[in-house]
Amino acid sequence: MWRDCEILYNKKLYAFISNSEYADPVDIKKLKFIFSAIFKYSVINKKDIRELNILEVGCGKGGIVLPLASLDCKVRAIDIDKNSITYIQALVEQKKI
């Protein structure tokens, strides 16, 4: 059971990180922290990640929101910069997330 959970965790973590434009180790560490918190929440609450509703405030160019969307979470992103939102929407359409 634990081994199956670990395999699923690693598979989803890889997908999560690979859908971000972040490459610096500090940013990868941040992505791992965010993913770990989401995964833990879904396990504790017995919910599939795809059932989660996530809000990102101050999403910028989508460094976190795009990986979240790639997990099929229901994601809402808010930013004061309209150009950032337009950029994210174009990427979502391009990547078919």
What domains are defined for the chain? 2-95 (3.40.50.150)
- Comparing CA positions, the residue from 59, 58, 61, 55 lying closest to residue 21 is 61
- Structure tokens that stand for 68 in this block: 């979240």
Averaged over 36-63, what is the pLDDT?
91
Residue 53 and residue 74 in contact, taking contact as beta carbons nearer than 8 Å: yes
Beta-carbon contacts of 87 under 8 Å, excluding residues fewer than 6 positions away, are 61, 62
pLDDT of residue 80: 95
> In the structure, what pLDDT confidence band is assigned to residue 55 with cuts at 50, 70 and 90?
very high
- Locate tokens 């460094």: which residue? 63
> 8-40: per-residue pLDDT in tens?
788 888 888 888 888 899 999 999 999 999 988
Beta-carbon contacts of 43 under 8 Å, excluding residues fewer than 6 positions away, are 5
